[in-house]
């Protein structure tokens, strides 16, 4: 019996056409466009081993951060007498537990839950590009800390800073050019310390470079006012700005990080608020001054001429917060209790406010607000923006989802 020879079957049109998701390059382009939320890549990595390999690749992660540009606002840090405490602001499944960004700072003479020894204080001065700058007034050290990677670097500050009569007034930190904001975990950075001798009315500045591991030359300049720092500071291009409360009122220090030459910007009397002041970069590179006054948030813009000379302040916008937020009147009066500015997330245009009924975050573009019931007792907040895309974050998937589901 002879067998019939089978003809080779031609592949079906569906089989002949290559599957798009089987192309690694095309797959990475698709995954690149996932939202820059903490849960996006872990969820994608659950699909299969191949997807997990793609989203955990270091080259892909760099492209992911570069593609999105602006890192998400994960929450903010409040500072206790000992350690910074993370307060998440995202909803599940993107909500990151406070324990993931914990930092235990050394406490000389103490330990455990004991209170600090006299004179031992920590100050968190800045959170910029995913890094925190923490000043230890007793040890005369700064610590640059990355909450995502856990890396930290302690650096002794040079004389005369922190030694009387030169008090540390403020700090600035910036990453070098060529990095992606929110993905600066390994990029070089510079730290500027600013000290003030209020008796001689002189300003002292010095710059630290992580590339060299050294401080530069201490520079002293005459600065004709006597006062102390306030919490608000910001970077606009190569200029560092910080608020000072002087004997003549609030003034703004403008410090050129390249030339290390200071200048003073006066604040108009009508700009002062009764609920805290804040400065921030404007969209076009200028400077914004935010102040709460009579239950309204006023946004003043400092305009700059082409020759970089100040052209003055202009009231850009007024937001009536008592009409936006659900305030409750005080028991003894029909007016709401006062509010204060706690902090400002520059990249997201979000202001944090404390009121009698809790802490609010308000988006100044969309006018949407959110109450943060888990943030009691906040005096100053440092908004934290960063891409949370670590490979180690993707590997323990089961533990991660169980951890985050506990917040639902």
Residues 74 and 85 in one domain: yes
Residues 59 and 93 in one domain: no
**Residue 214 is assigned to a structural domain of this protein:** yes
Residues 90 and 31 in one domain: no
**Residue 363 is assigned to a structural domain of this protein:** yes
321 and 336 Cβ atoms separated by less than 8 Å: no
- Both tokens of residue 8? 């080779």
User: Residue 180: helix, strand or coil by DSSP?
Assistant: coil
- pTM, two decimals, is 0.80
**Residue 262 is assigned to a structural domain of this protein:** yes
Angle between helices 24-31 and 58-68 (to 10 degrees): 40
CATH of residue 140: 2.120.10
Residues 158 and 231 in one domain: yes
How far, in Å, CA of 386 to CA of 237, rounded? 20
Residues 60 and 128 in one domain: no
**Residue 104 is assigned to a structural domain of this protein:** no
**Residue 299 is assigned to a structural domain of this protein:** yes
Residues 224 and 239 in one domain: yes
> pLDDT (tens digit, 0 to 9) for every residue of the chain, 408 residues total?
555 555 555 555 555 455 666 788 899 999 999 999 999 999 999 889 999 999 999 999 999 999 998 999 999 988 766 678 889 999 999 999 888 888 776 655 544 444 444 445 667 777 788 888 888 888 888 889 999 888 989 999 988 887 777 777 777 788 766 555 545 556 788 888 888 887 788 888 899 999 999 999 999 988 776 665 566 788 888 888 988 776 667 788 888 888 888 888 888 888 887 777 889 998 877 899 999 887 889 999 997 654 555 468 999 999 988 888 876 665 566 665 678 888 899 999 999 988 877 888 999 999 999 988 776 666 778 899 999 875 444 444 444 444 544 433
CA distances from 200 to 166, 190, 221, 227, 243 (A): 10, 28, 11, 12, 20
| Structural domains in the chain (count) | 2
CA proximity to 251, closest of 277, 274, 217, 275: 277
Classify residue 391 by burial, with Cβ atoms within 10 Å: 0-12, 13-18, 19+.
middle
Residues 61 and 91 in one domain: no
Residues 60 and 136 in one domain: no
Residues 254 and 130 in one domain: yes
What are residue 252's DSSP bridge partners? Answer: 243, 265
What are residue 15's DSSP bridge partners? Answer: none
Residues 90 and 151 in one domain: yes
Q: Which domain holds residue 59?
A: 22-68
Residues 32 and 171 in one domain: no
């Amino acid at each position: 019996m002879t067998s019939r020879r089978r003809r080779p079957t031609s592949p079906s049109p569906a089989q002949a056409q290559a599957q798009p998701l089987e192309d690694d390059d095309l797959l990475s382009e698709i995954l690149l466009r996932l939202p820059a939320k903490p849960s996006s890549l872990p969820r994608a990595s659950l699909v299969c081993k191949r997807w997990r390999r793609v989203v955990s690749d270091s080259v892909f992660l760099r492209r992911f951060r570069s593609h999105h540009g602006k890192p998400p606002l994960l929450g903010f840090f409040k500072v206790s007498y000992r350690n910074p405490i993370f307060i998440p602001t995202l909803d599940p499944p993107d909500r990151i537990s406070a324990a993931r960004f914990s930092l235990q700072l050394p406490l000389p003479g103490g330990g455990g839950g004991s209170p600090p020894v006299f004179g031992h204080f920590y100050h968190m001065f800045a959170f910029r590009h995913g890094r925190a700058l923490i000043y230890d007034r007793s040890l005369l050290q700064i610590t640059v800390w990355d909450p995502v990677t856990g890396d930290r670097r302690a650096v002794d500050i040079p004389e005369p800073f922190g030694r009387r009569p030169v008090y540390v007034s403020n700090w600035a930190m910036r990453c070098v050019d060529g990095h992606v904001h929110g993905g600066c975990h390994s990029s070089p950075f510079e730290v500027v310390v600013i000290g003030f001798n209020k008796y001689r009315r002189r300003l002292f500045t010095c710059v630290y470079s992580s590339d060299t591991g050294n401080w530069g030359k201490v520079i002293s300049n005459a600065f004709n006012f006597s006062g102390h720092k306030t919490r608000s500071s910001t970077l606009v291009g190569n200029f560092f700005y910080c608020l000072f409360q002087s004997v003549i009122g609030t003034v703004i220090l403008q410090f050129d990080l390249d030339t290390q030459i200071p200048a003073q910007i006066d604040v108009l009397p009508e700009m002062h608020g009764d609920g805290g002041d804040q400065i921030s970069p404007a969209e076009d590179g200028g400077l914004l001054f935010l102040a709460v006054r009579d239950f309204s948030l006023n946004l003043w813009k400092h305009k700059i001429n082409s020759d970089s000379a100040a052209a003055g302040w202009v009231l850009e916008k007024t937001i009536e917060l008592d009409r936006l937020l659900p305030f409750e009147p005080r028991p003894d009066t029909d007016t709401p209790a006062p509010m204060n500015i706690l902090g400002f997330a520059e990249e997201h245009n979000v202001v944090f406010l404390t009121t009698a009924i809790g802490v609010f975050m308000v988006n100044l573009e969309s006018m949407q607000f959110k109450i943060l019931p888990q943030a009691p007792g906040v005096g100053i907040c440092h908004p934290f923006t960063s891409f949370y895309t670590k490979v180690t974050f993707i590997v323990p998937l089961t533990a991660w989802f169980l951890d985050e589901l506990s917040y639902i």
